[in-house]
Amino acid sequence: MLAGEPYIADDPELAADALRAALLSERFNSASAADPEARRAALAELLGELGEGVEVRAPLRVDYGYGISIGARTFVNFGAVFLDVARISIGADVQIGPNVQLLTPTHPVEPEARRAKWEAAQPITIGDNVWLGGGVIVCPGVTIGENTVVGAGAVVTKDLPADVVAVGNPARVIREIRTVQDTDAG
């Protein structure tokens, strides 16, 4: 599954992993905002990796949780859906707007294979210092380069390079972002 190979969606082992994630998600999502230590503990148990200074606002929805790594100082706003059938890697200092979806699962086009419950997945990688605006959807197999900004409501179906602004459905690059190194060099 995590390697991108086809799998049967209702496998008993996966069902147990999904139940674990549902219970930990419920604990995180219902923890009091007045008890940040309990919230962080639930999140740390749910996710594969959790960097220092990460803030995730509830509710958060995941498939398994253990396939997600979030880098230091990243902020995830309300209503995130991270379907981690394959690995989801989120860099440091990332800003994720409300209702963002990171979707790794894929499904066969052929009706017989779908009916038989075959699925697969492709990983998602979000580079350092990326900003995903509200309602962004990132599709399976996508990598977004560092410092890139994705406008609200965009649907990212293909990789985006570093240091660009992308908008739309499907997301397209509309301009480059000049970095401090660019301005120092010339």
**CA triple 95-100-106, angle to 5 deg:** 125
Is 139 one of the annotated active-site residues of the chain? no
Catalytic residue (one of 107, 134, 157, 162): 107
What token pair was written down for 137?
């959807």
Residues in contact with 91: Cβ distance below 8 Å, sequence separation at least 6, in sequence order: 71, 74, 126, 127, 128, 129, 130, 146
Assign 90 to helix, strand or coil.
strand
Please state whether 93 falls in left (phi above 0), alpha (psi between -120 and 50) or beta: left
Report the distance separating Cα 68 and Cα 66, nearest Å. 6
By the 8 A CB rule, do 72 and 92 touch?
Answer: yes
Q: Which residues are catalytic?
A: 107
